[in-house]
Amino acid sequence: MRIPLNFDWDFVPGFENAYLNKFPKSEKVDIPHNAVMLDYSYFDESSYQGKFSYRKTFKLEKISKTTLIEFEGIQVQFDLYLNQHFVGHYLSGYVPVKVDVSTFVKKGENEIIVAIDSHEDPLVPPFGGEVDYISGAGIYRPVYLYTYEGSYLEDQFIMASGDGFLRIQSKVKGDATPTYHLYDNGKEIASFKEDAFQVEDVHPYSLEDPHLYELRTELDGETYSHHFGFRDVKWDEKGFFLNGKKVFLRGLNRHQLYPYQVAALPSSAQKEDARFLKYELGCNVVRTSHYPQSEDFLDECDRIGLLVLDEIPGWQHIGEEKQWRDNLAYLTRAMIIKERNHPSLIAYGLRIDESGDDHELYTRIQAIKAELDPTRPSLGVRNFKDSECLEDIYAYNDFSNESLAHGLDDISSWPGAKGKGKLVSESNGHMFPTTIFDETSRRVEHALRHAKVLDDAMGQEGLGGALSWCAFDYYTHKRFGSLDHICRHGVATLDRGKKAAAYFYQSQADDVPVLYLASSMQSSDYNAALFPPAIIFTNADEVDVYQGENLIGTFLPDRKNYPHLPHPPVVIDDWIGKRFDEPKISAKDQKTIIKGLNFSAQKGFNHLPFGLKIKMGLLMAKYHYSFTDVYNLYGKYINHWGSQGDDFTFVAKKGGQEVRRIKSGSSLEGHYEVSLSQKRLVNKDTFDTTFLQIQKKDHYGRLCHHAFDAFEVEVSGPIRLLGPKYLHLEGGHLGIYVASKEVKKESRASVIIKGNGFEEELEIIVA
């Protein structure tokens, strides 16, 4: 029997032995819990590195033969006490710890005390060097109690190939024999005792149809359930193959870090991130950099068909100490056992990110994988091209994109990758950090750099895929990021606000119609009040552009500069087009004038190429135009600095049919849009969360990227705000999580947002 132990803990900073006899006055908390709530930025990174104590009481009606406690994640190490007895010292960090406490429990009330130490211990990976992310502190993943009366299933590994052949390794504590029941869509299709079984007419697991089966194991009156999928994974010099079909892996790296709470958020938030990556960012793969992540996140990846590359804890540093290396081996073993039943997992990341070669250590790590899971390939991420590769897949962090002129180096320049599967595991990132409130030109270039990298990647035969750095901005140490403890390398912000690059990734998928105008339509937003080409990200076939009611023209995806992308950006480089109406000018001369005016809008009159300047001068003489006349033509068909001008309309078409329409122009007003990711919170094993998002948009519905309006957020009823109540927009966006409290019956709660003359109340049901 599994019993969740996640509500009503006592928490206090520090630990003393006296706490075992009398726990001090404390704060009531629920798990997952972050021991120190951080500021959004500019915090003291030493504040979360220390000792903290948690206490929980629970009752047992009887003593079972076996009682276990599992902690899914504690940062970083902890001592466990049960009924004033010291049970042991354990290393967790990013992996679960399950402890047999059968000799310590008693009938009636029991007391657990967990004394955690969140210091960055140099003998524990990923620590020992400098790390470009933070770990946080606390019991940040769920806690469970298990009781068994007889034999029990200690571990299980399910191997299911695409042809329907099923193999099961069950590690049983005791002498009972398990019986297996196979379910498909909730219906039992087979029952057997053998550890191998052939399933006929199997429904394979794929990106388009992530079909899951369920294996229920009966053992001494207990039922254990695992979901899995039948699929074949192959990497070779030709690329990556899923069920024999070549698939290009297009994705981003994810840190499990959230505003204020670091990593301490429950299932609903973890699952929202997986859905965000697939549906809002258009990814078909995610890398869990640089450590094992939540089972809830991985479960949702399984369910929606988001492929996963996991990774052992670490960043660049390899410890020479025996204990450091033994700890890495332990964490590797724990990660594989934790994650090997996930069908979305397509390779194990078994090399410290960007570390040097270490034949002895990585040979040892590979041996652990061969023992625990010989069915999956291994992946090694490095940042130099001639590295020794003991893994099946040579992954390289390619940060050669110093401008829009170059995306990636050719994989033929990776001598260490010969004979291996190949993957670009990181790119972009620190090469061009960008905020959501940066000037338009930087936000656009950031997105186009991602487009250039992905286009270069998809044009290379034999490259299995490319993942850029990274999905979300993240908390980091003082030596990295923007001196505010945030690395702004994401295509979305720390609080999940989408930058322009996010829409580029979303446009590469075909789940929903995408039409995003990345550029500003305000000339004074650009140097010298110019009007450069506008960039649109869309998965449509073409875009019609109007100014007012007049059609400028139809624009196609830029396949010249992005020949390999599924959906290249659309570049609007003509602001006049079919609108030009000057009858006294011949059709031939109109083309030259339109070309000259568009060039001037983009580069300025003073930078006209010599040949075009001569042609324009001759036409001015021919039609008796003064410079003022030309300037007035520019104002009429493009705009004058500070003039109102007509709205622009962009119409995306697919197969000749309109699929999306947006407008843009000079904004007249702003308004707030407030939303919740879910309005019903259900307490199950843990508390539940909803994501509160406040955005300021102009009257066209475009985000106000330079808005920093302040708000007060109040909550009433059985909910709590996971962060401060006084908040402000960052670049027009604000996101924060609201958590449920434990209730005995369904109850109503509310969130009230106030600020700048605005007030809105949102109702939440808690059950």
Active site residues: 354, 426
Q: Render the burial of 8-23: b for 16+ CB within 10 Å, e for the rest.
A: ebbbbeebeeebbeeb
Structure tokens at 533: 């080409």
Amino acid at 157: F
DSSP 647: P
Alpha-carbon separation of residue 639 from 523, 544, 583, 626 (angstroms): 8, 20, 21, 18
For residues 216 and 190, is the Cβ–Cβ distance under 8 A?
Answer: no
Q: Render the burial of 193-209: b for 16+ CB within 10 Å, e for the rest.
A: eeeebebeebebbbbee
* Residue of 687, 207, 742, 736 whose CA lies nearest to 494: 736
Structure tokens at 20: 């075992």
The DSSP-derived string for 253-299 is: E----BTTTBT---HHHHHHHHHIIIIIS--SEEE-TTS---HHHHH
Token look-up 């270039």 returns 445
CB atoms within 10 A of CB 277: 26
Q: Please state the three-class secondary structure of 134-189 as a single string.
A: CCCCEECCCEEEEEECCCEEEEEEEEECCCCEEEEEEEEECCCCCEEEEEECCEEE
Structure tokens at 434: 């960008």
Question: Percentage helix, strand, coil, to 5, in the chain?
Answer: 20, 35, 45
Q: Kindly tell me the sign of the dihedral angle through the C-alpha atoms of 513, 518, 519, 522.
A: positive
Q: How far apart (Å, rounded) are the C-alpha atoms in residues 237 and 240?
A: 9
| Torsion angle, alpha carbons of 483, 484, 488, 493, to 10 | 180
Q: How far apart (Å, rounded) are the C-alpha atoms in residues 137 and 74?
A: 7
The DSSP-derived string for 561-625 is: T-TTSSSPPEEE--SSGGG---TTS-HHHHHHHHHHHHHHHHH-GGG--HHHHHHHHHHHHHTT-
Amino acid at 598: N
* Residue of 658, 638, 650, 641 whose CA lies nearest to 700: 650
Name 551's bridge partners.
Answer: 546
3-state secondary structure of 22: coil
Q: How many helices (H) and strands (E) does the chain have?
A: 9, 48
Assess whether the previous peptide bond of 487 is cis (omega < 30° from 0). no
* Residue of 705, 702, 745, 686 whose CA lies nearest to 265: 686
| 35: CB partners within 8 A, 6+ apart | 11, 13, 48, 52, 116, 118, 136, 137, 138
Alpha-carbon separation of residue 546 from 577, 640, 657 (angstroms): 10, 18, 17
Q: Please state the three-class secondary structure of 568-584 as a single string.
A: CCEEECCCCHHHCCCCC
Name 634's bridge partners.
Answer: none
Q: How far apart (Å, rounded) are the C-alpha atoms in residues 161 and 164?
A: 6
